Amino acid sequence: MTHIRLTPLALSLPATVPFVGPETQERARGAAFTARLGANESVFGPSPAAITAMAETPQWMYGDPESFDLRMALAAHHGCSPDNIMVGEGIDGLLGYLVRMFVATGDAVVTSAGAYPTFNYHVAGFGGTLHTVPYVNDREDPASLFAKAAEVDAKLVYLANPDNPMGTVHSGAEIARALDALPAGTLLVLDEAYVECAPECTALSLPVDDPRVIRMRTFSKVYGLAGARVGYAIGHPDLITAFHKVRNHFGMNRAAQAGALAALEDQPYLAQVQDQIVQARDRISQIARSCGLTPIPSATNFVTIDCGRDAVFAKAVLDGLIAQGIFVRMPFIAPQNRCIRISCGTPEMLDALATALPVALESAEKG
């Protein structure tokens, strides 16, 4: 066999992915999950109009490489120019392109320890050096992030607002004020994947073409199109144009573009899902409290539950839930890994959670 001539960087990296999918776990356990409450998908599904649009889209054609119709609609939705919008294969895909554009071997990048791991995966894949700061009171801390960026001359700083995995939130005005301390030459990557779940004051209160920041949005959460992989970036036209240097121009399939456009146009359905998310968050919190656990107030489509001890105990609770067919996840890094994270679900799914959680806790107590 011919020797596989990987680059030294590729040879140095582990052959892993940031997340173990629920399908992998189902194959390992030999059974499907009763309640899929770990991936922060919208179990309430997309707009019926989006389903129809995707089903009626001709599949023999490539997608429009400019995602023109969707970009025009998004620009109208946000009150900006299409030149401020880049559509890509979910926020994950856009993060990969952004890191490729900015990060060479050894370049410094800053994030919070325990924040969204796919960003870190891309940084490692392009040879960047990742610097982390701790959460403060279970929230990512802009002041700490920007101070570290100044210390290490970071190219990029990643901040999710609302946060994943904790569900906590800053107001857009808070982040705008904190940007005064962002070093010149550093770009803030503001991941707003969950902003449609959050209070109206959460979105960044700055012009969309502010060159210090690029905002990431998605159709995977409240819009219910996680499987279609549609995300978009909002930023200065010069930065948006730079994506064309590296992106996969046919990466967006035609059905996904049509589905996202139809979902965007059906704002009444979006409002209905937002109401269902609020109800589900309240129910998850009630279930946690009834078991003596503490829910962390959430601005997302999940609730993070403080199990009150350490990571070993939280992992035992998680394992106990999975053993009963309830798929959930937990944060990776201390002290957040004292928690488990539960996505919003249907009433039936949450009934199953209510039955399973006391059993999982009893099992974890026994060790």
**114 and 181, same domain (yes or no):** yes
Mean pLDDT of all residues in the chain?
A: 97
Q: What is the pLDDT of residue 354?
A: 98
Evaluate whether residue 64 is within a structural domain: yes
Domain boundary pick from 227, 246, 265: 265
Domain boundary pick from 231, 250, 265: 265
Evaluate whether residue 1 is within a structural domain: no
Evaluate whether residue 286 is within a structural domain: yes
Structural domain for 317, as ranges: 19-45+268-366
Instruction: Report CA-CA distances (Å) from 169 to 162, 177, 298, 304.
Output: 4, 15, 8, 13
User: Per residue in 51-73, pLDDT tens?
Assistant: 999 999 999 999 999 999 999 99
User: Which CATH number does the domain housing residue 334 bear?
Assistant: 3.90.1150.10
Q: What are phi and psi of 67, to 5 degrees?
A: 45, 45
Percent of the chain with pLDDT over 70: 99
**108 and 158, same domain (yes or no):** yes
Which residues are CB-neighbours of 349 under 8 A, at least 6 positions away? 34, 35, 36, 37, 43
Q: Which of 230, 231, 239, 178 is nearest to 206 (CA)?
A: 178
**207 and 356, same domain (yes or no):** no
Instruction: Report CA-CA distances (Å) from 345 to 38, 57, 333.
Output: 10, 29, 25
**309 and 194, same domain (yes or no):** no
Q: What is the pLDDT of residue 2?
A: 63
Helix ranges (DSSP H) in 15-116 = 22-29, 48-55, 68-78, 90-102
User: Per residue in 332-359, pLDDT tens?
Assistant: 999 999 999 999 999 999 999 999 999 9
pLDDT at residue 78 is higher than 80: yes
Model confidence band, residue 163 (pLDDT cutoffs 50, 70, 90)? very high
**335 and 260, same domain (yes or no):** no
Evaluate whether residue 6 is within a structural domain: no
**77 and 107, same domain (yes or no):** yes
pLDDT at residue 1 is higher than 60: no
**256 and 219, same domain (yes or no):** yes
User: Which CATH number does the domain housing residue 255 bear?
Assistant: 3.40.640.10
Domain boundary pick from 265, 288, 310: 265
**24 and 62, same domain (yes or no):** no
**130 and 251, same domain (yes or no):** yes
**Token pair listed for 225:** 């199109």
Residue 163, helix vs strand vs coil: coil
What's the total number of domains in the chain?
A: 2
Q: What is the pLDDT of residue 6?
A: 93
Average pLDDT over residues 245-258: 97
Q: What is the pTM of this model?
A: 0.96
**329 and 221, same domain (yes or no):** no
Evaluate whether residue 7 is within a structural domain: no
For tokens 């940007």, name the residue: 179
Evaluate whether residue 352 is within a structural domain: yes
Evaluate whether residue 3 is within a structural domain: no
Residue type, 257: Q
Model confidence band, residue 302 (pLDDT cutoffs 50, 70, 90)? very high
Evaluate whether residue 14 is within a structural domain: no
Q: For 141-184, where are the E strands, in sequence order?
A: 156-160
Q: Which of 240, 225, 193, 220 is nearest to 66 (CA)?
A: 240
- Count of CA atoms in the C-beta half-sphere (13 A) of 179: 22
